[in-house]
Amino acid sequence: MAAGYLPPLDTTKAELTTAQTRIKITTRKRRVTSLRKPARVQEALDFWSFAGAAANVVMQLGWPEVAYGVMESKVESGSLMHHPWKRARTTTQYLAVAILGTEEERTAFREAVNSAHRHVRSDERSPVKYNAFNRELQMWVAACLFIGIEDSHQLLHGVMDEEEAEEFYQSSKTLGTTLQVPDDMWPRSRKEFDHYWNVASQRIVIDDTTCEFLNDLVDLKMINPLIRLPFVNLLRFLTIGFLPPLFRDQLGLEWTTDDRRRFEHLFTFVSIVNKFLPKSIRFGGSRWLMRDLRHRIKHDRPMI
């Protein structure tokens, strides 16, 4: 582990509550059957699972070390603000390979990410010290990805019970281990993950520079206005809806009880529509990303 970049988690502080660090979801199960299927993250890669992608980036950048690593990155080809579509493709492709890929494919993608991460480290002008190889930073990013997938899955299919939540969590470990997070660093149980998440959220500090950057992200200002303007209100609504209260408060974003109800009603409608869509459409995006990745590996093309 790259030592010296982050203080240890301060477990002496009063732990933040789930009401502060998670969005509130009250969606009931859509269907009850006597033969229960295992709850696995592989079933959560419906294309609507990417609806909270911008919110998830905001969450990742809640840690100053991650935020400045992105904002000061010298890897211009992967810049979020200059190449948003490429960054979106590589991020969603990471999710696909971490969840659906073989060990060999995960290794290949990890090596590609490492080649970019070698250039992401602080210098004497940086307000905080960071190194993209720091495993604590990568654990935080992986935890954010898990939160985003679990939230979207429960919005579509209803809140999981304790047993289902544990099954879903255990199937998600590769979100971290595909990067540099070792098995023993990933919390052993869903309950331990909740504790990690609430304690780790104590490190969220959004300063003025980061706040301006993230508000531009919420408003999708990096996207061509001709593409952005017809959808900006919906995408902004989705992004704010996927942000836990702690993040909304630090960004000065308003979210009312009525907003939350409309947010859940939207996903209720989507879940009904989804019943009539074939899996080839619902999961087509992730399958295309895997085909693209395998093509890149086969023809020795850049993966990120």
Per-residue model confidence as pLDDT tens digits over 234-281 = 889 999 999 999 999 999 999 999 999 999 999 999 999 988 889 888
Got the DSSP string for the chain? --TTSSPPP-TTSPPPPHHHHS----PPPS---SSPPP--GGGG--GGGGTTHHHHHHHHTTSHHHHHHHHT-S-GGG-TTT-HHHHHHHHHHHHHHHHHS-HHHHHHHHHHHHHHHTT-B--TT-SS--BTT-HHHHHHHHHHHHHHHHHHHHHHH----HHHHHHHHHTTTHHHHTTT--GGGS-SSHHHHHHHHHHHGGG----HHHHHHHHHHHTTTTS-HHHHTTTHHHHHHHHHHTS-HHHHHHHT----HHHHHHHHHHHHHHHHHHTTS-HHHHTHHHHHHHHHHHHHHHTT----
**Is residue 300 predicted with pLDDT exceeding 80?**
yes
The tokens 């494919």 sit on which residue?
Answer: 105
Task: Examine residue 18 and state whether it is found in any structural domain, yes or no.
Answer: no
Those residues with Cβ within 8 angstroms of residue 265's Cβ, 6 or more apart along the chain or in another chain: none
Task: Examine residue 12 and state whether it is found in any structural domain, yes or no.
Answer: no
Task: Examine residue 304 and state whether it is found in any structural domain, yes or no.
Answer: no
Task: Examine residue 266 and state whether it is found in any structural domain, yes or no.
Answer: yes
Q: Give the dihedral of Cα atoms 44, 50, 54, 56; nearest 10 deg.
A: 10
Residue 4 pLDDT grade (very low, low, confident, very high; cuts 50, 70, 90): very low
Task: Examine residue 165 and state whether it is found in any structural domain, yes or no.
Answer: yes
Write down the pTM of the prediction.
Answer: 0.89
Count of domains in the chain?
Answer: 1
Task: Examine residue 231 and state whether it is found in any structural domain, yes or no.
Answer: yes
Task: Examine residue 50 and state whether it is found in any structural domain, yes or no.
Answer: yes
Structure confidence by residue, pLDDT tens digits, 191-247? 999 999 999 999 999 999 999 999 888 887 766 666 667 778 888 999 999 999 999
d(CA 243, CA 245): 7
Lowest mean pLDDT among 31-40, 125-134, 227-236, 240-249: 31-40
* 261 in Cβ contact with 26 (< 8 Å): no
pLDDT of residue 9: 60
131 bridge partner residues: 121
Residue 28 pLDDT grade (very low, low, confident, very high; cuts 50, 70, 90): confident
Neighbours of 83 (CB within 10 A): 16
Task: Examine residue 198 and state whether it is found in any structural domain, yes or no.
Answer: yes
Burial of 72 from C-beta contacts in 10 A (0-12 / 13-18 / 19+): middle
* 256 in Cβ contact with 15 (< 8 Å): no
Domain range spanning residue 127? 39-298
First to last CA, the chain: 24
In whole angstroms, what separates CA 68 from the centre of its chain?
Answer: 18
d(CA 206, CA 251): 7
To the nearest 10 degrees (0 to 180), the angle between helices 135-157 and 162-170 is 140
